[in-house]
Amino acid sequence: MITILVPTDFSENSKAGLRFAIRWSIRQPVKLIFIHIFHAKFLPLSTDEENIEFIEIELKRFKDKLNLHIQSIYKTLGIKPGKLTSVVRQGISADLSILEYCRENDLINYICISTRGAGNVNKIFGTNTGNLITKSDIPVLAIPKKYRFRKLNSLLYASDLLNSDTEISEVLSFARPLKINIKILHLLLPEEPSADKKKLEIILRNKFRYDMEVVIIKDNIKKSIRENLEEQIKLYKPSLIAMFTDQGRSLFQKLFYPSKAEQLSFTTSVPLLTFPKSKS
């Protein structure tokens, strides 16, 4: 059984991620772990003993609040909750605390979190969702705040066709249990030779025993890669998008050439599933 970590800050924006994860659990046997990170504001001149007591009180208060919040989401969806697993942690940064929790719990398979969008500055320096996409060793499913759930029947996997065997296996580990159709989208860069679409489909079908369609599009150099991707998203209207993001970039690249997956998570109206690209 796969385990999904579902962060929430109790805001309206964060409810989309919770709703998606709960509905996901109806389609497939999964374990949901709901997590909330709070930052304790200690009283001036308080002692260590007083701070410890304060933290314990806050942990209980937020745990009760989290359980009630989760139950209210289940109720609005008309779904009866099973045994709930909820975690509350104190931390200065939500994204770093979530990553630390994942390192301590290596059975977590996915992080499902809402994304609410950001301005240009925040796109570069990151929000919690953006930071998780670019730092997490675990696949992150980013759910747009205004997303309204619809049947999960198609996935558009944007691929550079490099290290494709490993990457397709990871995409299939998500899509196969849910019986989701897969379209592999490859944007041909200028002067890149075109691949034989039909031949590639036959090879993939035989290798992975799963029906996959290959879409090869010539990249429009007058538009950014993100804009080209968004055109294909509008054309094919997938239920989900999948991408692999390179986390091994320099600080300069991160500041001035942000991850394509991170950029897309702020603009798309479709859930975005990102996997960390292999470092090999």
112 forms beta bridges with: 141
Q: How far is CA 115 from CA 11, 168, 270, in A?
A: 12, 25, 11
Mean per-residue pLDDT of the chain: 85
Identify the sign of the CA torsion 256, 279, 180, 140.
Answer: negative
Read off the DSSP letter of residue 108: -
Supply the pLDDT for residue 202: 92
CA distance linking residue 67 with residue 186, whole number of Å: 43
What would the two tokens of residue 65 be?
């609040």
Alpha helices in 78-93 (DSSP H): none
Task: Report residue 141's pLDDT band, with 50, 70 and 90 as the boundaries.
Answer: very high
**14 closest CA partner among 72, 61, 85:** 72
Alpha helices in the chain (DSSP H): 15-27, 48-77, 94-104, 120-125, 128-135, 164-178, 197-208, 225-236, 251-256, 260-265
**pLDDT tens readout for residues 142-179:** 999 888 888 899 999 998 887 888 999 999 999 999 99
Residue whose structure tokens are 């859930």? 271
**pLDDT tens readout for residues 206-225:** 999 998 999 988 766 677 77
**Over the range 152-169, which residues count as b (16 or more CB within 10 Å of their CB) and which as e?**
bebbbbbbeeeebeebbe
Q: Is 154 in a helix, a strand, or coil?
A: strand
Domains and CATH numbers, the chain: 2-144 (3.40.50.620), 154-273 (3.40.50.620)
Q: Which residue has the higher pLDDT, 19 or 265?
A: 19
**pLDDT tens readout for residues 23-49:** 999 999 999 999 999 988 777 777 888
Supply the pLDDT for residue 119: 43
Identify the sign of the CA torsion 144, 266, 165, 224.
Answer: positive
pTM for this predicted structure: 0.88
Q: Is 67 in a helix, a strand, or coil?
A: helix
R_g of the chain, CA atoms, integer Å:
20
Task: Report residue 249's pLDDT band, with 50, 70 and 90 as the boundaries.
Answer: low
pLDDT over threshold 50, residue 88 = yes
What's phi and psi for 9, nearest 5 deg?
-115, 15
Q: How far is CA 170 from CA 94, 127, 226, 274, in A?
A: 27, 25, 22, 11
